[in-house]
Amino acid sequence: MSVKRVGIVGSGIMGAGIAETAAKAGFEVVLRSRRQETADATVAGLEKSLAKQVERGKLGEEERSQVLSRVTATSDLSDLAEVDLVIESVVEDLETKRHIFRDLDRIVGPGAVLATNTSTLPVVELAMETNRPEAVCGVHFFNPAPAMALVEIVRPLTAADETIATARDFALACGKEPVEVKDQAGFIVNHLLFPYLNNAVRLLEQGVASRDDIDTAMKGGCNFPMGPFALLDLVGLDTSVAILDALYDEFRDPHYAAVPLLRRMVTAGQLGRKSGRGFYDYRR
Ligand SMILES: NC(=O)c1ccc[n+]([C@@H]2O[C@H](COP(=O)([O-])OP(=O)(O)OC[C@H]3O[C@@H](n4cnc5c(N)ncnc54)[C@H](O)[C@@H]3O)[C@@H](O)[C@H]2O)c1
């Protein structure tokens, strides 16, 4: 199926990044947020990001206005009725996503593919909320979406080959490198990444080394572009705990049990970059 119009539900870090990626790739984008002010603020953020790219000579003025003209912001889910592909990217909470998939199934035209950007939750749970489980899959972008090359295409037991092909073609059209993975918590990347991030917090909690020394060690010793605490702050600590909880629910492996410090920081509102403070302070 050929995708021309893409609906994005959720305008957080990932929804905004996916909207930018898709619009730059030439797709018409309808971005839906719960409140119109947030939807408009996301478009304003996109304008800013594109203006910076023009300043740096990475984007032409003409292209900038074309990209912007392809994006519509709305608070009304009904505005997604005529899209060919939806990417849901709201908070990592199964009940919230279930609810949205029920609404999407009712609203979005019958030929469209409904995808989720979930990091860990069972995609089949969302597929089974709809009357078109064959047209539901995962399209998992990485953060920041415009910069990261990978997209995991997640195949639940219920998905038709055509759905997976549509998702894969979309990722390729966005200039990404798609990989296919079964619908198992964490898929490939988070399955391998989160025990490492969780163990870094454990080392810090045990006082084995300082935050800065752990980040320095993993950059200098493994050639990683950033250390585990900088990465946790980028991902968001609330999202990270949700990912660990989903992994723990699926595998019951203690490596996936979120370290208490991580949970306490979330309770304290120290969510990382998005709240101004996490393991590092971004308020200065
Ligand atoms: N942060 C990452 O690094 C990353 C990477 C890949 C995938 N993801 C996944 O992307 C999705 C979104 O994550 P994010 O990092 O953009 O989170 P975020 O906290 O930046 O944004 C979450 C969005 O969900 C909306 N939301 C919250 N509660 C809602 C509700 N009840 N109904 C509708 N919308 C609601 C918020 O308004 C916000 O727009 C999650 O499924 C997450 O697992 C995150």
Please report the pLDDT score of residue 4 as a whole number. 98
**To test ligand 1's pocket by mutation, which of 36, 38, 91 has the most ligand atoms within 8 angstroms of CB?**
91
Furthest-apart CA atoms within the chain: distance in Å = 55
Average pLDDT over residues 108-129: 96
Average pLDDT over residues 258-275: 97
Which amino acid belongs to residue 68? L
Please report the pLDDT score of residue 122 as a whole number. 96
Instruction: Please indicate whether residue 89, judged by its CB atom, sits closer than 6 Å to ligand 1.
Output: yes
Q: Kindly report, residue by residue over 10-24, the tens digit of the pLDDT.
A: 999 999 999 999 999
Kindly tell me if the per-residue pLDDT of 1 is higher than 80: no
Instruction: Please indicate whether residue 13, judged by its CB atom, sits closer than 6 Å to ligand 1.
Output: yes
State percent of the chain over pLDDT 70.
Answer: 100
Please report the pLDDT score of residue 90 as a whole number. 97
Please report the pLDDT score of residue 118 as a whole number. 96
Q: DSSP character for 135?
A: G
Instruction: Please indicate whether residue 12, judged by its CB atom, sits closer than 6 Å to ligand 1.
Output: yes
C-alpha–C-alpha distance, residues 252 and 42, integer Å? 38
Please report the pLDDT score of residue 7 as a whole number. 98
Residues 6+ apart with CB under 8 A from 97: 88, 90, 116, 118, 121, 126
Distance 193 CA to ligand 1 centre (A): 19
Write down the H helix ranges in the chain.
13-24, 36-55, 61-69, 94-107, 123-127, 161-173, 189-205, 211-222, 228-235, 237-251, 260-267
Average pLDDT over residues 260-280: 97
pTM for this structure? 0.93
Which residue CA neighbors atom 11 of ligand 1 most closely? Answer: 89
Distance 175 CA to ligand 1 centre (A): 23
Q: Kindly report, residue by residue over 119-152, the tens digit of the pLDDT.
A: 999 999 999 999 999 999 999 999 999 999 999 9
Write down the H helix ranges in 56-160.
61-69, 94-107, 123-127
Q: Is 140 a catalytic residue?
A: yes
Please report the pLDDT score of residue 107 as a whole number. 98
Which amino acid belongs to residue 150? L
**To test ligand 1's pocket by mutation, which of 76, 239, 243 has the most ligand atoms within 8 angstroms of CB?**
239
Q: Tell me the three state secondary structure of residue 37.
A: helix
Measured CA distances, 248 to 90, 122, 184 (Å): 21, 13, 12
Assign 250 a pLDDT band (cuts: 50, 70, 90): very high
Kindly tell me if the per-residue pLDDT of 276 is higher than 90: yes
Mean pLDDT of the chain: 97
Q: Kindly report, residue by residue over 150-193, the tens digit of the pLDDT.
A: 999 999 999 999 999 999 999 999 999 999 999 999 999 999 99
Please report the pLDDT score of residue 284 as a whole number. 81
Distance 19 CA to ligand 1 centre (A): 13
C-alpha–C-alpha distance, residues 253 and 251, integer Å? 5
C-alpha–C-alpha distance, residues 241 and 122, integer Å? 16
Distance 232 CA to ligand 1 centre (A): 15
Instruction: Please indicate whether residue 117, judged by its CB atom, sits closer than 6 Å to ligand 1.
Output: yes
Q: Kindly report, residue by residue over 92-105, the tens digit of the pLDDT.
A: 999 999 999 999 99
Average pLDDT over residues 211-223: 98
Which amino acid belongs to residue 40? D
